[in-house]
A and B are shown apart, each in its own frame.
Chain A
Amino acid sequence: MDTAYLIETVIKVVVILLVFSALAGIGTYFERKILAFMQRRLGPMNVGPYGLLQVAADGIKLFTKEDIIPTNVVAPIFKIAPVITAATAFMAAAAIPFLPQFTLFGYTVHPIVADINIGILYILGMMGVGLYGPLLGGMASANKFSLLSAARGAAVFISYEVVTGLSILAPIMLVGSLSLVDFNEYQAGGIGNWIVWSQPLAFVLFWIAAFAETGRTPFHLIANDHEIIDGFGTEYSGMRWGLFAIGEYANMFFLSFVIPLLFLGGYGDGTLLGALGLLAKMAFFFFFFLWTRAAWPDVRPDQLMWLCWKVLMPLAVINVVITGFIMMF
């Protein structure tokens, strides 16, 4: 492996880490503001102009707070759990092409850390591993709300992962590759080529599953504040809790990138317009995550399992079968 490649990769990793950690923080700001506006409030207003520095204030607070490890918790697991969530969220980002390739000072940059040929599988797998964070954190804590949250996490996990995998299977059959770059190439011809037109059902199913994946309303039942306090995060404080939050928001951003890349043409033909288009689509999906939080109620865990197993999974299977037949003949 030559040195230039190594240096380039390290720089990309650092940039992605920095950009998305910052974005995760800014994401919380957007979330508060948008939720507030939708509920006719103003949201954060006091720190900085229009509360813009609220993110910095939160960061300082999280970093300087005492890191409490309660007496009765299983300390090693309790300590490692938030790291799993945050780390896997960022690891998943390795296979996401955030922008089309561009030339900087005569050097061609591919804004993807590793264009591996199992891209989407790797991303979904990594995000799946990320659920071990809430699961282990909840089980290592010494209160029933965390335990309930962990139990819910396990139940939710096995439900939606099936839907995610099966719904994505049909587009994969069409494209014939697991790499997101190939997905993008497949749809590069313009709006007419977007997979969402040939696979609308898969798109909707994957979108629904993405809500379960990130644990957002209406599937916010792993850390449902009004039922089980903060769920797995109940006993966490300071930066460990912050890592959970960063992981959650980074996940939201990454999924907001993955959905357009898979179904909505990604960055298209790779021009500047296409790149901006991808960012706009990403922004819409991120906004939608916040939008639903203001609009929709949460479902119960059993309703989510009912939905995943009895409705979404059969639909996904039917979709795969029909796609297979159409491709065969």
Chain B
Amino acid sequence: MNNEQFNNRNVNDSYYLVDIKDYPTDGWGKFKRVVKRTFRGELFVGLWVVLREMIKFDIHTIQYPLEKMPIGPRYRAVHEMKRLWESDTERCIGCGLCEKICISDCIRMDTKIDEYSRKEVSQYTINLGRCIFCGYCAEVCPELAITHGGEYENASEQREHFILYEDMLTPIDTMKAGKQLEFEGFGAITPHEDERMKKTPLAY
């Protein structure tokens, strides 16, 4: 096998070469080119274009701290920890999958058995200095507990603040108000999830 098919960039047959005339080599040709360029008024086309834009006044500036671009729901910024809609408790069951899959090894967690003999997350941090926001943790989480949020502005005096479980967890009052946003990104529930559900075959 040769490399030709890899080097051939002409993937589309409708590509064509722009018709550029050869540069003139003799004096007369150059002179003709200068005269043609001088009187074709190309400079005025440029002037008109910028003047038109100025008159249209179609400004694209976003005055950042005051205005912000809407970011897509699938944007992968700082993580969020979700709560259960039914009981407002934390969704995370402490399975440790996110810690295991994290390719930059930045999730650290610890669990303990609580008084009801259930597994409880006692420590959970993500070192955002190392996180590459790949989204694997959100994808692997069986409970849709850890997701990515849209918060991309972070500042603090200490990097130890980035980032604790309490900061990621949906605040309880937000939850009570029913304002928790579900993550629509990679690994989230698709819109047709209900139709794709199958009954667990317990019959056999």
Interface string of B51-84 (1 = CB under 8 A from A): 1011001111101000000000000000000000
Which residues of chain A come closer than 8 Å to B63, judged between CB atoms? 42, 45
Q: Residue B51 contacts which of A38, A39, A296 (CB distance < 8 angstroms)? A: A38
A41 at the interface (CB under 8 A from B): yes
Check B50–A291 contact: CB distance below 8 A.
Answer: yes
Tell whether A41 pairs with B59 under 8 Å between CB atoms, given A296-B43, A311-B34: yes
Check A296–B46 contact: CB distance below 8 A.
Answer: yes
Q: Which of B51, B54, B57 lies at the interface centre, i.e. has the most chain A CB atoms within 10 A of its CB?
A: B54
Check B46–A41 contact: CB distance below 8 A.
Answer: no
A34 at the interface (CB under 8 A from B): yes
Check A40–B60 contact: CB distance below 8 A.
Answer: yes
Bound-state Cα–Cα, A40 to B50, Å: 9
Check A37–B47 contact: CB distance below 8 A.
Answer: no
Which residue on chain B has the smallest CB distance to residue A296?
B46
Bound-state Cα–Cα, A34 to B58, Å: 13
Q: Residue A292 contacts which of B34, B47, B54, B61 (CB distance < 8 angstroms)? A: B47
Which residues of chain A come closer than 8 Å to B49, judged between CB atoms? 295
CB distance from A317 to the nearest CB of B (A): 18
Which residues of chain B come closer than 8 Å to A62, judged between CB atoms? none
Which residue on chain B has the smallest CB distance to residue A218?
B43
Chain B contact-residue range equals 10 to 19
CB distance from B24 to the nearest CB of A (A): 15
Tell whether A41 pairs with B60 under 8 Å between CB atoms, given A296-B43, A311-B34: yes
Check A39–B53 contact: CB distance below 8 A.
Answer: yes
Q: Residue A41 contacts which of B43, B51, B61 (CB distance < 8 angstroms)? A: B61
Bound-state Cα–Cα, A296 to B58, Å: 21
Which residue on chain A has the smallest CB distance to residue B65?
A46
A129 at the interface (CB under 8 A from B): no
Which residues of chain A come closer than 8 Å to B34, judged between CB atoms? 311
Check B47–A40 contact: CB distance below 8 A.
Answer: no
Tell whether A34 pairs with B59 under 8 Å between CB atoms, given A292-B47, A295-B47: no
Within 8 A of B (CB), among A286-308: 291-292, 294-296
15 A-B pairs in the complex with CB atoms less than 8 angstroms apart: A34-B54, A36-B61, A37-B57, A38-B51, A38-B53, A38-B54, A40-B58, A42-B59, A45-B61, A45-B63, A295-B43, A295-B46, A295-B50, A296-B43, A296-B47
Additional pairs, 19, CB under 8 Å, beyond known A40-B59, A291-B47: A37-B53, A37-B57, A38-B50, A38-B54, A39-B50, A39-B53, A40-B53, A40-B58, A40-B61, A41-B61, A42-B59, A291-B50, A291-B51, A294-B50, A295-B43, A295-B49, A296-B43, A296-B47, A311-B34
